[in-house]
Structure 1
Amino acid sequence: MDSPREVFLRLVNGVCDGPYDELAELYAEQTHVSHPFHPLSPPPLLSRAELHEHFTGAPPVARTLIRKPVDITVHETADPEVIVAEFAYRGHVAETGETFTVPCVFIMRIRDGRIIESRDYIDAIASARAWGQLDSLLAALRPAEEADADR
């Protein structure tokens, strides 16, 4: 059985290299994955099936990110199931050569080699910029009345 550190490393490397259809297998059947600092407050992902869709669904844009996790520090805690992982996704956009760094902190509870809970703190602005989605993120954040006035 993989340690929490090994599961985390399989996850972040798998996000970069695939195969994406196997990533959901790192999670328990019932799980709780949240993105507390995401500006659009998406609902948590609560099952392996939802995570499978999350990892294998079509990307938001036709951009290819070539990336690797870097600057990885994994902090073990007094609870052997819980780790705090600091890292960044660093890479470039294949189509443009534009470079990016997306800082992240994951707080994960991993039991019996499966992720049962994860709070993923990802720099949403850096991520949106890398994916070419910064304008759509900003548009989604505008109050409805301001967006209507812009039309």
Structure 2
Amino acid sequence: MRTPEETARAVTAGVCRLMRGGLTAAEEAAQLDGLAACYAERTDVRHPFHPLGDTPLRSRASLREHFAAGGPPAGVESFDVVDDRVHATADPEVVIFEFRYAGVIDGRAFSLPCIFVVRVRDGEIVESRDYADHVAAARAFGRLPALAAALSPAPDMS
């Protein structure tokens, strides 16, 4: 059974493999299944800083869908976890995983700071609060205009 630290690291390593792309359909499906298996069947994963609002992910199936959504961005040359540190807490089920996703997309370097506060029971994540720089991610993946449009008020049609 994985420790909380090993489980948190398994998730981010799996995300990196997905984001790098180049997987066959079978490899991608296996990677998605492996990522989803890091979570309990009933879980509570939140992204409190997401600019479009925090929509809780409450099941292993919803986490698999979350990881499958959109696929890797085009032009990914590298995508890795760097500057990673795990901070133990007084609760043996909870770790704080501080890191950056860093890499290169279409020749442009990016850095996405993240902190995950993860509760792991029996090797599976039962609760996580994922704090990430979503604006930096949108910029890195070429999705900043879409994010800005989504944040803009709808035109008044009256």
Counterpart of 1:6?
6
What amino acid is the match of 2:102?
Answer: R
| Deviates further, 105-114 or 55-64 | 55-64
Match of 1:31 among 30, 37, 43: 43
Task: Check conservation: 2:117, 2:130, Cα contact below 8 A.
Answer: yes
Gaps of 5+ in 1: none
Residues 1:110 and 1:55: Cα distance change in structure 2 (over 3 Å): same
SS of equivalent to 1:27? coil
Counterpart of 2:122?
112
Please state if 1:127 is matched with 2:127.
no
Shift of 1:142: 1.2
Residue correspondence of structure 1 range 53-64 to structure 2 within 5 A? 53-59=65-71, 62-64=74-76
Task: Check conservation: 1:63, 1:131, Cα contact below 8 A.
Answer: no
Q: Matched residues in 1 for 2:137 and 2:104: separation?
A: 12
SS of equivalent to 1:28? coil
Shift of 1:64: 3.3
Residues 1:131 and 1:47: Cα distance change in structure 2 (over 3 Å): same
Counterpart of 1:22?
34
Q: Matched residues in 2 for 1:61 and 1:127: separation?
A: 11
| Deviates further, 10-19 or 27-36 | 10-19
Gaps of 5+ in 2: 19-30
Q: Matched residues in 2 for 1:89 and 1:47: separation?
A: 25
Shift of 1:72: 0.5
SS of equivalent to 2:41? strand
Counterpart of 1:76?
88
What amino acid is the match of 1:130?
Answer: A
Deviations 1:16-68 (A, max 9, x none): 01423320000000001100011100411110000111112333854536210
Match of 2:153 among 112, 135, 143: 143
Q: Matched residues in 1 for 2:95 and 2:145: separation?
A: 34
Q: Number of matched residues? A: 145
SS of equivalent to 1:32? strand
Stretches of 4+ aligned residues off by more than 3 angstroms? 60-65
TM-score normalised over the length of structure 2: 0.85
What amino acid is the match of 1:43?
Answer: T
RMSD: 1.7
Counterpart of 1:101?
111
